[in-house]
Amino acid sequence: MKESLYRIDASLATLDYSEVEALWREAVASNDQKDLLVLARQLALRSLPVIEQTCRLCGRRVGLDEWACVLAVEEASIKLVLRLLHDVRWSSLGAIAASVARTAIQEVRPRGNGRAVVPLRPARRLVPLPIPGFGQDQRKDTEERQSKEERP
C-alpha cells in the first residue's frame, strides 16, 4: 500500500487544505473507510508543522529533551489520524492538532520508571562475520594485552 499512498499524496498535493478537508468530510459522511484513512493521513501530514511547534513549545516547558519531543511528534501524528477517523466536531484542524500534541507531551514526558522514553534501536544491525585468517593478529594482540593486565 505504501507505493499507492505516495501516488495518492502526489494526486492530493495540488489541492488546498480546505479542499482536502471537504473530501475528508465527504468520506466521513459516506463512511468510506478506505478514503477516510487516506484523507485523515493527508490532513495529519499537513498538520505536522503545528504538531511539531506545539510539541517543542510544551515539551520545553516540561523539560523534555530533543529526542522526547521527536517521540511526542510521532505519537501525536498517529493519534491525530485516529481522531480524524471518527471525530467530525471540529472547526479548526490547527486547534485539534495542537490539542493532540499537548496531550502527547503529557503522555511521553519522562516518568518514574523511565519506560516512557526509550530511544529506538535500529531494526537491523551489522553483524561482523568471521573471515578466515583475517583479524587473527589483532585478536592475538588483544588476548596478550588482556592476559598482561590480569597479571598482578
Site for another protein in 77-116 (CB under 8 A): 77-79, 81-83, 85-87, 92-95, 97-99, 102-103, 107-108, 115-116
Q: Work out whether 62 is an interface residue with another protein (CB under 8 A).
A: no
Please spell the DSSP secondary structure of 17-41, one letter per residue. Answer: HHHHHHHHHHHHHHT-HHHHHHHHH
Residues, the chain = 152
Nearer to another protein, 95 or 139 (CB): 95
Residues in binding contact with another protein, number by CB under 8 A: 67
Among the candidate windows 58-66, 124-132, 135-143, 144-152, which touches another protein by CB under 8 A? 58-66
Q: Which residues contact 54 (CB under 8 A, 6 or more apart)?
A: 76, 97, 98, 101, 102, 105
Q: How many helices (H) and strands (E) does the chain have?
A: 7, 0
Spatial separation of the C-alpha atoms in residues 149 and 97, rounded to whole Å: 59
Which residue ranges make up the site for another protein (CB under 8 A)? 1-5, 7-8, 10-12, 17-18, 32-35, 37-38, 41, 44-58, 60-61, 69-71, 73-75, 77-79, 81-83, 85-87, 92-95, 97-99, 102-103, 107-108, 115-118, 120
